[in-house]
Amino acid sequence: MSRFGRSLGTKLALLFTGITAVAFAAVFFIVVPQLQNTLEKERLTELQRVAPAFAPQIEGGMNKEIKPPKIDELIRSVADNADAEVTIFGIQRQANRPPLFYTISNSNVSKQVDASKELAGLAFKRHRQASGVVDMFGSRYAQVAIPLPTHRPNWIVVYAHNLSDVHGTVGVIRNRILLAGGVALIITLIGGYLVARRLARRVKRLEVAVTGVAEGNFHEPLPVTSEDELGQLTRSFNEMQAQLARLDTARSQFIANASHELRTPIFSIGGFVELLRDEDIDEETRKEFIWLMGEQIERLQKLAVSLLDLSRIDAGSLELNPEEVDLSELVREVAGEFTPAVGRHETELDLVLPEEVEAICDRERVAQIVRILLDNALRHTPRGTRVEVAAGRENGTAQLTVSDRGPGVSAVISDRVFERFYTGDAVRGSGLGLAIARELADRMSGTIELDSKPGETAFTLALPAADHENGSA
């Protein structure tokens, strides 16, 4: 099949034309015949209503045994009044045989229309009126046969109305439908092709853009020129493209930052190893190098764990086990882990904790967030800086705040502290801790916010409170 035959515009145009053709075919082959049948029935019904009115007049004339010319005159008069051709049959009865019908008079002498003797026989047999539509001499006639008298017929009067006027009317309608159908098909084909071609261009534009995105080329947003389904599809595509562009940028930055963070401690450890191979190095320097190597190895371990956590978060495979957790108890346990670090930092760690603060969360992940916030406070404040951990309830949430009396965070930096790999001091951290903390809080239906001013920095974690806690808040 050619490209023209495969195009969406051609297919849609042919579809529109086909639908139009089917619609006109249905009108031509179903509606028009039904119209003809309806009009024929209406004429037959009118003849059934009119014909009995002349029965007494004809029966009276026949009973008087008037001469044939008078009978012909009477029949022509009835035919004119009934707007039909009228034929009167005589009946010749035969023993054990069907009766014979012979023509006594006919209103249309010039044509000598032989009315249906079958219909006359049916009226004679039933002793009542019979009617129908029959074909005679290439035309259709509505016929009504009336027996006279009814109880013992001696004559059968048949009224026949030529339906050529009905056929003429239907023929005109049929021709007009053919003409209108032909014009409509041409208009539909041309108009449908133009509309379909416009739609096809819009679809093609989307196809080209999708191919570009698949190849990693993120173009400018496509113009949204309508509010129809294609317009909404274009808008959704633009949103998807923008999101993919952000993800691609984040991925590139992630790889670059991760490579940098891994390279720094590895090169540092490599340098220390080269120095330790020097046999002339004194013992005190050797111990210092080993201690520094240990710090770098610890940094690598933390970075590896952080990268693993981030990969699980991004992949959606991070498992959470929500339960009721006492934040006060959990903070005391985590604070105990930091006793050596607090001692080395020569600081004071104050715990302002009520007896019980229940939250719905994953215990291990909240403990991880507390470790990140405490490590951040000790890492980025001068030695001896006071650090405080407080917990409480507010507005149906269980809140935990880690604050310090350090120099504070500038407004420029505070907007970026939760970004991955962002840190004001690359030597002191990888810039992943706070990003992980916020991701974990989000997945537990919580939030973590920074409130900083000169001389004080506070990170507040808010989590859904347990139901009984909400009730007592």
pLDDT tens for the chain, residues 1 to 473: 444 445 666 766 777 777 877 877 777 778 778 888 888 888 888 888 888 888 888 888 887 777 778 888 888 888 888 888 888 888 888 777 888 888 888 887 545 455 567 888 888 888 888 888 887 777 788 889 899 888 888 888 898 888 888 878 888 888 887 888 788 778 877 877 777 777 777 777 777 777 777 777 766 777 777 777 777 877 887 788 777 777 677 667 667 766 766 776 787 788 778 777 776 777 787 788 788 888 778 777 777 777 777 677 766 667 888 999 999 999 999 888 888 888 888 888 889 888 888 999 999 889 989 988 998 888 888 888 889 999 998 888 999 999 998 887 766 677 677 777 666 554 445 567 788 888 889 989 999 998 888 888 899 999 998 875 444 43
Domains 1-213 and 229-313 share a fold: no
Q: Say which CATH architecture domain 1-213 belongs to.
A: 2-Layer Sandwich (3.30)
Show contacts of 328-332: CB within 8 Å, 24+ apart. 328/353, 328/354, 328/355, 328/356, 328/357, 328/391, 329/356, 330/363, 330/366, 330/367, 330/370, 331/370, 331/389, 331/391, 331/400
In this structure, what are the phi and psi dihedrals at residue 466, rounded to the nearest 5 degrees?
A: -65, 155
Domain boundaries in the chain? 1-213, 229-313, 319-472
Q: Which residues are 352's β-sheet partners?
A: 390
Using a cut of 0.75, tell me whether the model's pTM lies above it: no
Residue 16: closest CA among 194, 177, 180, 179: 194
Cβ–Cβ < 8 Å for 164, 85 = no
Rg (CA), the chain: 51
Closest CA to 108 of 56, 161, 60: 161
Q: Which CATH class is domain 229-313?
A: mainly alpha
Contact 163, 40 (CB under 8 A): yes
Q: How far apart are CA 35 and CA 409, in angstroms?
A: 88
**Beta-sheet pairing, 387-394 with 139-148:** unpaired
Give the whole-angstrom CA distance, residue 275 versus residue 287: 12
Residues near 291 by Cβ (< 8 Å), separated by ≥ 6? none
Which two three-digit tokens encode residue 90? 């005589």
* Backbone conformation region of residue 112, classed left if phi is above 0, alpha if psi is from -120 to 50, else beta: left
Q: Report the alpha-carbon distance of residue 419 to residue 429 in Å, rounded.
A: 13
Amino acid at 365: R
Name the fold adopted by 319-472. Heat Shock Protein 90 (3.30.565)
